Amino acid sequence: MKLIKLSSFLIIDDSTVIQNAIRALLSRIGVPTNNIACCPTAGAAVGNCKQQKFDVLFVDHNLGHGSTGLQMLEQLRLLKLINDNTLVYIITGNEDPQIELAYSDYNPAKYIQKPIRPEEIITVINHDLIKRKFSMGMIAAYTKDGLAGVKPLIFKSPNKIILKDSMLKLAARLIRVNRLTEALSVNKALLSIIKESIEAELQQIEIYIAQEDFDTANQLTDLLLPKHETSNLHLLDLKADIAFRRNNLPIATRYWKKGFELAPYSYLRFSYYTWSLIAKGDRYDAFDLLTKYAYLLPNSAFDSAGKRAMAAWGDLFLAPEEVLQEWSPESAWQRVSAKLKGRLRGIPCISAQRALSALFQLRMNRYGEANRLISDIQHADITDYETAYIVYLVYCEMKLDDEKEYIETKWLARLQQGKSTLAKLQTLAFEKAKASG
């Protein structure tokens, strides 16, 4: 219990009953009051994590005001306020298997169903803290003496579960610092001890991808797919990543689609899927996704004026005739975000609104009005790639070569230098628009 007493805890739940129950449980076993913090919302949790580093998070799924534990963890990861040493426990009464699968993106220590059982929680936390301490010791031994310093610890591990977790974390750390040969050595040593571990097998694929040995990575992925294709999001992501790096966009799109359909909650996976469709020219499939899942955007770490504008763009081309007659960017956003309670602020970017309105006027064959709207766009007001893309679509359709050149010079050129998967997908989408315009 000593490790628990020395650890810090954040309880994120909109129920004061749950907050008080966990707080009382921790206090009863000796955790100091100033090591326990509680908050009811995702925003408050982010604020707490900015002020203090917590060892353990208790996360409720439904946090009220339309936000979820998934979106909160998404923000914490994007802001680098949690890492692989943070123990995350999902506490919820929700039994939806899609939601439980979605949390696997954040490697939770345990998924605990309400009502909570105090003895179970304490036992689990104590074991996980012991596991964390051993893995941190293994990383420290490597930092001091390299792999030679790690070998003695393999024989001192309390059990195979702790050993597996520690070696996985060490290899993950080596991957991050690009010591790939050593990472592979640790990984293969682990597989020789454990014999079969989906986590270690997936990590080996990650290493081969980092080494740009895509053929080997693909072979290993295909061996795992028959057994895990419907239960492992990370495996599907790796398959998509390999296909994309081998310039096979249709296969990449297929596996991003599979992953998103299994657990339709990750906005990043959603972005890969939709931009891959746009890059392929499957616009109407993208429109369907952009409108159907627009409600995922508010409260997420990725919310922006441009992304809201993309959802409204999809609505423009899917709206029935009677809706189209009265169409506007604001009404489109309200329509596609209707699954969320309360009135949401629309698209807070004048350039995006004017570009969408210009596309509407072009669809209604009102070229003069479209020209007036597009001439009022201030380039300084374009602050994200999505807004730049929609403005670019108008320039392409209206054959405004000088304006197109501005977007290509400032926005497309920057994307072409990007190394992320999303930057490459958006580059393909811009180039597709350029070729068709």
Q: At what angle do helices 385-397 and 350-363 cross, to 10 degrees?
A: 30
- Over residues 105-120, the mean pLDDT reads 87
* Of the candidate ranges 12-21, 59-68, 77-86, 368-377, the one whose mean pLDDT is the lowest: 59-68
Distance of CA 420 to the CA centre of its chain: 13
Is residue 343 over pLDDT 60? Answer: no
pLDDT in tens, 193-222: 998 899 999 999 999 999 999 999 999 999
pLDDT in tens, 399-429: 999 999 999 999 999 999 999 999 999 999 9
- Over residues 12-31, the mean pLDDT reads 93
Task: For residue 267, give the nearest of 277, 278, 256 by alpha carbon.
Answer: 256
- Over residues 16-40, the mean pLDDT reads 94
Predicted model pTM: 0.94
* Of the candidate ranges 86-95, 200-209, 361-370, the one whose mean pLDDT is the lowest: 86-95
Q: Quick check: 285 and 317 in contact, CB under 8 A?
A: no
Which pLDDT belongs to residue 114? 81
Sorting pLDDT into bands at 50, 70 and 90, what band is 108? Answer: very high
CA end-to-end span of the chain: 66
Which pLDDT belongs to residue 341? 60
Average pLDDT, the chain: 94
Is residue 6 over pLDDT 80? Answer: yes
Is residue 31 over pLDDT 80? Answer: yes
pLDDT in tens, 281-339: 999 999 999 999 999 999 899 999 999 999 999 999 999 999 999 999 999 999 999 87
Q: Quick check: 203 and 220 in contact, CB under 8 A?
A: no
Rounded to an integer, what distance in angstroms lies between the CA atom of residue 167 and that of residue 154? 9
Is residue 229 over pLDDT 70? Answer: yes
Q: At what angle do helices 329-336 and 305-318 cross, to 10 degrees?
A: 90
Which pLDDT belongs to residue 342? 54
What are the structural domains of the chain? 2-116 (3.40.50.2300), 130-242 (1.25.40.10), 266-436 (no CATH)
Looking at the chain, the number of H-run helices and the number of E-run strands are: 24, 5
* Of the candidate ranges 63-67, 83-87, 178-182, the one whose mean pLDDT is the lowest: 63-67
Which pLDDT belongs to residue 209? 98
DSSP state of 412: I
